[in-house]
Every structure is written in C-alpha cells, then in structure tokens.
Amino acid sequence: MSADLFTPLELRGTELPNRIMVSPMCQYSCEARDGLPTDWHHTHLVSRAVGGAGLVMTEATAVEPRGRISPQDLGIWSDDHADALADITDSIRAQGSVPAIQLAHAGRKASTKRPWEGGDPITGDEGWETIAPSAEPYPHDAGAVPTREMTADDVAAVIDAFRDAAVRAREAGFRVAEIHAAHGYLLHEFLSPVTNHRTDAYGGGFEGRTRLLREIASTVREVWPDDDPLFVRISATDWLPDRDSWTVEDSIRLADDLAPLGVDLMDVSGGGIHPDQRIPSTGPGYQERYARRIKTETESDVAVGAVGGITTPEQADALIRNGRGDLAIVGREHLRDPYFALHAAKQLDRLDDVEVPPQYHRAF
Ligand code: FNR
C-alpha cells in the first residue's frame, strides 16, 4: 500500500506520526538580542504541535552570534540556550510531535534589520562584520555590510560551531537536526559558483564547493545519535540560468554524496543566493518539481521533503501519494492556520489517525 499524508514516516529509530512538517520560520523575536527563546517562541512552536503537525522545526538557529540574520534571531551557541530550549522541546513532545532544530549560519546575509523594520543591512555599531567564502557582500539596495573572506581557521571554527550546536541541540531534547544550506546563507554561499571564488580546497569545482557542507554533515552525524534523523535543507537551484550557478543536477549529485554520510532527508527549497534570481512561478507547489527530480533521480535512498506553496490538505496528500516526496513541509499556511494538520485530518476523513487534544475534541 502506498503512503499518504497520515502514514507515519520512519527515519532511523524515529517515527514521525504523520508527513506534515512545520517549515523553519524566523520569528525575529529574541528580546534581549541574546539568541534566547522567549514566550513568543514557546507559544508559536508548541501551538503548531497542538495543531497536529508530525514534526515542528525551529527557525534558523544560529550556531554562533555572527551567524544571525538579525540581532533578534534565535541561537544555540551556549548551554544557556540549550537549557532554555528544553522547555519548548518537552512541550512539543508532550503533544505527540517530534521537535526539530534548524542549525544555521547566515554568512554574508547576516547583520540585517528584521523584515518589519525594513530588512536593510545594519552597518553601524549595532551591526557586525560578516564572513563568507569570498569577500563579496550580498548586493543590497541599501548598501552592504562589510564581508570578509573566511580563512582556514574560520572554516575550522564554523565546523566546530556546528558540531557544538548539535551536541547542545541533543541536550535540549531535539530529535531531528537540520543543517541549513539553502537561501543564500553561509553553506549555500560555499556551494554556489555565484558566491564561491576560493582557490583553496573549499572552492573551485563541485568537489571543492561541496566540501564544507560534506564536512559539517559528517561532523554533526558523529555527535548526533544514531537513532535520530539528520536533514539538510538546500536550494535546489539558484534560479540564475544565465550564469554559472547551482543547478538541480548539482543537487541530485549532492544528495548522492550526502546520503552515505548519514543524511536522512533532503529538504528541497530554492533560491536566495542573489537578487537577480528569476523564480519561474510562486504558485501552488512551486518547488515540488525539484523535490520530485531529486527523489526519482538520486541513486541513494535518501528521503525527500518538498516545500513551497503547499496550502491545502489535498495538495499535501497528493504529494505523498504520488511519490513526489516523503514529507510535506508547510510554512506560511501554518502561520495562517496552526491547526493545519488537524484540519487536514478532518477534511481527508483521517481523524482516527491523529491525536486531537482532548480539550479540543468537540471542535474536530
Ligand atoms: C521563512 N523561511 C525560512 N526558511 C528557512 O530555511 N529558515 C528560516 O528560518 C526561514 N524563515 C522564514 C520566516 C518566514 C516568516 C517565512 C514566511 C519563511 C522559508 C520557509 O521555511 C519556506 O521555505 C517558504 O516560506 C516557502 O514555503 P511556504 O511558506 O510557501 O509553505
């Protein structure tokens, strides 16, 4: 029997109760600019677990302070962060959902204001120097933050930061870790020839440009428990077809390289490396075709998650039933409707396959 949206997904020793994941979404809501979660993070994440999603992922959580997009981003660079996040993971698990964390470094896209304050680069005392594979700032209408080319020591320090973050994430109670290598942030900047002009072992051809991500995946896998899944989010394409850029073919090859290193799922997104990108469509399931290509063309058995424009239960269910992906990753629709998964179960006549909180039974 083929799987559908409410068929549990087994990854290693971890079972997701259904195929709906809350996509990582920055909340820009750390009040003291210290990367510590607030009541907002608790409410935001736990209410999506109450809403029935099988997996709830935190926003991009910075492995070092310099890796934050904005000063208000969440972080996991100290034991205090792990302690504070433990309350959230406990509450997510208590709802029968699996808590996941996205481990991130913003690279040259760090040091910006939050979107509702304009999103411009912060160039004064409040901002900081960013690091990237090459000393080229992200082109931004409002100027740019100074960007330094990473030295060999910087590369080693970033690998260490991801490893330490993974250790802390496990102590905090997360059961899935996702390495953020998409959307023009640091690891994507290494992958793409648009942003990586290094001449050392971390630049050049495909092997060199993918080296840092492969090393980080191996390092995280060494400290991440054998029973717990490891995801990697990529931009399947740079959407810059007219120049030497990252392509879907590169993504398929990358999936084949990451699977043997212990990566269990490719979370397939797109774009973000350069403002000149041309997105062919932002309609329903606009990135699904890339997930499907990776799923059908990879030689490994890595699982695939699709994200982008998934807004209806039927669409999410069809994705799984038709074998285009193993996990339906839902972002903005979860902001509109924290109970997306319970609504989906009701609409698809699958309420017997979800845990409706007893307090809400009369509503579903
Ligand atoms: C995002 N997105 C995002 N992606 C990511 O990998 N890490 C992140 O922290 C964020 N932050 C974020 C904040 C907000 C407010 C939005 C709306 C989006 C992208 C998100 O996870 C998702 O990939 C896209 O929104 C596309 O999916 P939907 O929204 O069409 O389901």
Pocket of ligand 1 (CB under 6 A): 23-26, 59-60, 102, 180, 182-183, 233, 269, 307-310, 330-333
Q: Between 180 and 125, where is the model more confident?
A: 180
Is the per-residue pLDDT at 1 higher than 70? Answer: no
- Structurally, at CATH architecture level, domain 9-363 sits in Alpha-Beta Barrel (3.20)
Nearest alpha-carbon partner for 211 in 328, 314, 133 = 133
Atom of ligand 1 nearest to the CA of 69: 9
Active site residue 286: no
Residue with CA at minimum distance from ligand 1 atom 18? 25
Give me the DSSP letters along 50-99: HTT-SEEEEEEEESSGGG-SSTT--B-SSHHHHHHHHHHHHHHHHTTPEE
Tell me the mean pLDDT in the region 257-282. 96
Residue 16 sits at the vertex; the CA angle it makes with 304 and 183, to the nearest 5 degrees, is: 40
Segments making up each domain of the chain, as ranges: 9-363
pLDDT at 355: 92
Nearest alpha-carbon partner for 236 in 217, 221, 220, 255 = 255
What's the CA gap between 327 and 192, in Å, rounded?
A: 26
CA of 275 to the centre of ligand 1 (A): 17
Atom of ligand 1 nearest to the CA of 329: 31
Residue with CA at minimum distance from ligand 1 atom 14? 25
Residue 32 sits at the vertex; the CA angle it makes with 129 and 141, to the nearest 5 degrees, is: 40
What's the CA gap between 285 and 141, in Å, rounded?
A: 30
Residue with CA at minimum distance from ligand 1 atom 3? 25
13: which residues sit within 8 A by CB, 6+ positions away? Answer: 226, 227, 228
CA of 25 to the centre of ligand 1 (A): 5
Q: Which long-range contacts (CB under 8 A, 24 or more apart) does 203-208 make?
A: 203/133, 206/250, 206/253
pLDDT at 2: 87
Cβ contact 184:273 at 8 Å: yes
Condensed to tens digits (0 to 9), the pLDDT of residues 117-173 reads 999 999 888 899 999 999 999 998 877 788 999 999 999 999 999 999 999 999 999
Helix axes of 248-258 and 288-297: crossing angle, nearest 10 degrees: 50
Atom of ligand 1 nearest to the CA of 330: 31
What's the CA gap between 68 and 186, in Å, rounded?
A: 11
Catalytic residue among 185, 202, 290, 339: 185
Pocket test for ligand 1, best of 116, 290, 332 (most atoms within 8 A of CB): 332
232: which residues sit within 8 A by CB, 6+ positions away? Answer: 178, 179, 181, 213, 217, 258, 263, 265, 266, 267
Is the per-residue pLDDT at 38 higher than 90? Answer: yes
